[in-house]
Amino acid sequence: MGFLFSDWTFVSIGLTVFLQLLCVVASSSSFEEGAALNASDSSASREMPELDAEISAGLAVYRKVLRSKRVEQQKSILMLHEISDLKKQAKLATPAIKKILEILSHQRTQVRLNDTDFESLSLTEKEVVSTILENVLFLGDFVLRLPDTTGKLLKKTPGSSEIVHWAVAYASSLNYLDQSDLRILDLMAQELQLIPRREGYLNIYTEAYKKQQEEAQKQAAKEAAKNKKPDKKKKKKPLMSGQFGDEL
């Protein structure tokens, strides 16, 4: 069974362990869940959104299972992103990122590079591929949402650049992912500069961008204050006096 996220889970085991469990669980059950879903739910194909007509029914089911796992992963990343203290954020994220790199490094030795046909893979081979896809996408979430924390850790970890470069290239070469997941891999590759950044690329979650925005807001406030016209004081009208003064 897949690992389901809940508030109780977070309270019970803590975010750090939860993040690591997402990495570990990604390595074992997706294709088994997909097979069970395909066998038990005869209406599965009717409920799924329209997919590429060229993909197999088995791959369509896997994509559906992968989507549910991606929701779990992205929830955990959003929780980390809400932590403003970068030291605390790094302390929580580091074990999970290291676990992802460990898993990818191991699975790299297990995968068959010359066979990308989904239906020709055995269950064991599908699980290996599943592990790589789910963990490289999870790492992509860290890279894009927590760019400074993740970038520093990857630079300090020997061999991480080679592992990540391979995982992104391998996952992108398959036809197992949908367009939204392929976009994650593309943006991840640009952020880590595994490929040249295209014109206009910008990650709004970097500390540099946040500081730039803060400075721009301060400057705009100064300009607004400088250009603000002083209020003209209304002159008081003189009181009427003279021959009508006592009558008014």
Is 79 contained in some domain?
yes
Is 243 contained in some domain?
no
Is 83 contained in some domain?
yes
Question: Cα separations (Å) of 77 from 95, 113, 142, 188, 226?
Answer: 14, 30, 7, 15, 42
Is 57 contained in some domain?
yes
Q: Write the burial class of residue 125 (CB in 10 Å: 0-12 exposed, 13-18 middle, 19+ buried).
A: middle
Residue-wise pLDDT tens digits, 191-228: 999 999 999 999 999 999 999 998 899 888 888 888 87
Catalogue the long-range contacts made by 154-157 (C-beta closer than 8 Å, 24 or more residues apart): 154/97, 154/192, 157/98, 157/101
Is 222 contained in some domain?
no
206 DSSP 8-state letter: S
| Domain total in the chain | 1
The pLDDT value recorded for residue 82 is: 92
The pTM of the full predicted model, rounded to 2 decimals, is 0.73
Is 29 contained in some domain?
yes
Is 229 contained in some domain?
no
The pLDDT value recorded for residue 233 is: 60
- ∠ CA 172-178-179, nearest 5°, is 80
**Domain enclosing residue 77, as ranges:** 7-191
Per-residue pLDDT of the chain (248 residues; tens, 9 = 90+): 333 333 333 433 456 666 666 665 454 445 445 444 444 443 333 333 344 546 788 888 889 999 999 999 999 999 999 998 889 999 999 999 999 999 999 999 988 665 567 778 888 888 899 999 999 999 999 999 999 999 999 999 999 999 999 999 999 998 899 999 999 999 999 999 999 999 999 999 999 999 999 889 988 888 888 887 666 665 566 555 555 455 44
Determine the Cα–Cα distance for residues 220 and 226; give it in Å rounded to an integer.
10
The pLDDT value recorded for residue 21 is: 63
The pLDDT value recorded for residue 56 is: 82
The pLDDT value recorded for residue 222 is: 84
CA 65 to chain centre: 18
The pLDDT value recorded for residue 220 is: 85
Is 226 contained in some domain?
no
